Every structure is written in structure tokens, then in C-alpha cells.
Chains A and B, each alone.
Chain A
């Protein structure tokens, strides 16, 4: 029993981690919480849903994920262009970004509601059987697939940020954009790269959430709150902190739901976040996050 719960919790946590990391990567460079991320996740979920349905037989799931990631990149760059770029050139204070990102998220959710209504669309099933066995233990096919994809994507992302030239440039712009220019880095390009990464992550988590839950306009905003909690607990702007916090959050949530029911779980979760903020406001990653603010 508890092994299945654990897998299911880690799987949920891994999706939260994708969301949290999309948040954290933008925060680390731009120093604002990109609340449009939730809207992007919803939009990508719809895009993936219609893409999957447009073909008979439906395309393999990895093609849909790639499509959704590409759609997310495009959408994220469009949002950056219309909502944030002008704020950057004017060097506006953070509150403007906050307002712009909330506005974009609400706009997207409203558009989706106007066009598609509030109905839930079930994502076409991709497995013939919802569970499989290893030995005597039963696993959910969906949870396992989501877990593998999420962890794979997170590993690629961490490698990219830690080990590549572009990743290093992103970290330097996060620390000091002015000095980064003196290295020959164009911070504008770096910022666009960061938004592209966030968009791809929104696209991937959009498909995974659609498969796991179903498609509806506020899907992304609900998940974003969890991702936001994880990125706050992890230490705003810290990728590794966000990943660790998100996975614990997922496990915590699944076990709480199992033992307390789904009604009281959010209260405990947000209570835990408040306690965490009071005890350790810099998050798990402490030192790293402090340098960024």
C-alpha cells in the first residue's frame, strides 16, 4: 500500500517540480514571480489536447509532449514581448511585473473559458491498462510514466544550467546583468532564453497534468500555486531547492490526502508553508537565494 502511495506522491511532486522550476528559473534572473506561468500551463494543456485529437490514430505521446513544449516556448516569448519587455527597457519596479504577470494569467484563463467553457475535457487514454505489476506490487502506469518523464526533464535542465556555456551565462545574469555584459553576454538574449525554458517546462507540465487530471481553464493556476509554494520553500530562485521542496510537497500531499481527505489537505499544506516562511524565510537553499535578492 504505502509503496504505491510513495510512487504516486513522488510522481505528483515531480510534476510540481517542473512547475516550480519554471517559476524559479524566471525568478532567479528577473527577480519576479511569473504568475503567467499558470495560464501558460492551461493553454498548453488545451493545445496538447486538440493536437492529440487532431490525428487518427493519435500521435505517440512524446510527439504531443514535444509539440506542447514548442507551443509553450512560443507562448512564453509572446507573453514576454507584450507584457514584460517594455517594463525591462523602462527599468520598471517589480510591482509592475507582478501586475503584468497576474493580468496575463487571468487573461489566458478567461480566453480559454470563453472559447472552451468550464467543462472538463478528458485527455485520450494512452495506456490500454491503467496499472502494471512488478512482483506483487501494483503500479499506476500513468504515475510511473509521469514520474519518468518529469525526472528526465529535470535532469536535463539541471545539466543544462550547471554544465553548459548558456547555463553559466544564465547564472551570471542572475547574479549581475551589468557585469555579465562585460563578459560579452547579451542579457536580453539570456532573458529570452530563460522565458523559452520556462515556456517549454509549462508545455511539458501542461501535457502531464492533462493526462493525469484532465483539461480545464484553471488547471494551470491551481498547479502553479503548488509550484509557487515549492519554489518559496525551496528558496526563491534556487532550482535544486525548488525540486527538493516540490517532491516533498507531492509526497506530503498524497499521504495527507490519504489519511485526512482532500478537503483538509490544502489547509495543512499552506499552514506548513507559513510556518516554513516564519522559521526559514530564505528557503531550503538559504544562502543561494539571499544573494539573489
Chain B
């Protein structure tokens, strides 16, 4: 298995006096999908915001063997990009301008052109609407735009916060397929989800977070078979009827 691109050691996050994440340790394997699952309010968003540098943290984060900068905009320049919960595209700007903002850290115009073409190839929808106000897109289209905007920075690590939230089931399947395709192209993915089952079917490795603590970890397939995980997150239904690998090209 590949090396760890990110190592999180004893990380704590406080909101005022209230501590939301209590000393978490995690390893993120390079080129893999690592899922972070857990119920609402568990601290998943807080963990990736701490990685992004948008909240203050204690403890250590090593990225490619070196301490990771705590400054949010620098983190993006280093190659770690977050696609935030609720998509957060820029309304009032066109689809194309949203994508160009994703490429803000890139100075090479040819590379930006290439990345833009890549996004349009994967989502022709976005090309059809490139001049349209991004705020007028449907929820599913906005999610595609948000992921594409993240990819426009040509990231080493892409963090996705609840990408399936509020989307119709067919579109959710598309999103998860797309996430695997991103991994297959060599990008390390950190996937935060409440949709535990699909995440465990999709990911290579997973952490389970509850009340700001890591309560379990393991390979996706192993956790799917774990009784505790089944009881709390999956209910009786423990098979991967939906197998994303069937649909992935190659």
C-alpha cells in the first residue's frame, strides 16, 4: 500500500470553550479514498476544516512529511483542497468564473485551459452553461460544479464534505462514481459522509467519528461486516447491492 500523504496526531479543535474534536489521530493513504463517517454533529466537518486551516487547531498535521501550514489560503497552494458542505458555489458569478476561481492558485494559462477542458469533458452540462449564473443551477449541477471547481486547482488531496447531501438517489450514484474516477486518476480523496453505506462501499479505508472522537477504523469492506457499525449506521442491510466498481470504466 502507498505511503501516508497526511498524518494527523492528537488533533484538538475548540469553538470558544467547547471542544468539538478531542485528540484525533488519522492517517490518510496517498492515492486512496479515505472516508470519515459518523452521525450529524460528530465533528467530521470540523476535522476537515482544521485540515483546511479555516478553524484553529492544536496538535500536529504532517503533509508529505512536513508540518502543514495553518493558513487556509496556503493550504490550497500546497495542494489540499476542500469542496465544502452545501457546495458553496459563488452565486452571481458564471459557471466558468466559478471554475476559474478554483484555478486561482495556478499561473500557467495552458494548464488552466487543459483543466477546464477536462471538467467540460466529464460534465458537458457545465460547458453548456458556462456563461450562466452559477446560482441558477440545480442542486445536482451545483454539486458537480463544486467538485469540478475543486479539481481546477489540480490538487494532490481533495476533501469532499457531504457531497451526496440533498441530492436525488440517481445523482448520488453519479457523484460516488465520479469520486472513484478522481481517485483512479491519482488524487487522494478524503470523503466526509453521513451516507455510511455508500461511503464504505466506495472507500479504501474509513474512520468512524463520534462525539469528536475516533471510535473505529478499518477497510471499508471490513467495517461493512462489523456488527457494531451495522447496528449503528447501516441497519440490517449489510450487502453492497450498489457496487460502484461495476460501473467504473477499465
B-contacting residues of A (Cβ < 8 Å)? 165, 168-169, 171-172, 175-176, 178-187, 288, 291
Contacts and interface: CB of A to CB of B under 8 A. Distances in A.
A181 B52 CA distance: 9
Interface in B101-150: 101-102, 104-105, 149
Given A165-B104, A168-B101, A172-B101, A181 B72 contact: yes
Given A169-B101, A186-B73, A181 B54 contact: yes
Interface stretch (B24-32, B80-88, B168-176, B236-244): B80-88
Given A168-B100, A179-B84, A182-B81, A288 B72 contact: no
Interface of B: 52-54, 71-73, 76-77, 81-82, 84, 88, 90-93, 97, 100-102, 104-105, 149, 153
A175 B92 CA distance: 8
Q: At the interface, is chain A mostly helix, strand, loop or mixed?
A: helix
17 contacts: A165-B100, A168-B97, A168-B104, A169-B101, A169-B104, A171-B90, A172-B101, A175-B90, A175-B91, A175-B93, A182-B54, A183-B149, A183-B153, A184-B73, A185-B101, A185-B104, A288-B92
Nearest to B102: A183
A184 B153 contact: yes
Contact of A181 (B73, B100, B102, B149): B73
Contacts of B97: 168, 171
A180 B72 CA distance: 10
Contact of B104 (A178, A184, A187): A184
Contacts of B73: 181, 184-187
Nearest to A291: B92
A95 B136 CA distance: 33
B90 A182 contact: no
Nearest to A169: B104
A175 B81 CA distance: 19
Given A168-B104, A184-B104, A291-B92, 13 more contacts: A165-B100, A168-B101, A172-B101, A175-B90, A175-B93, A178-B54, A180-B101, A182-B81, A184-B76, A184-B77, A184-B105, A184-B153, A186-B71
A153 to B, nearest CB: 24
A288 B133 CA distance: 11
A171 B84 contact: no
Top 8 nearest A-B pairs by Cβ distance? A184-B76, A184-B105, A181-B72, A186-B73, A179-B88, A183-B104, A183-B101, A184-B104
Contacts of B76: 181-184
Contacts of B77: 184
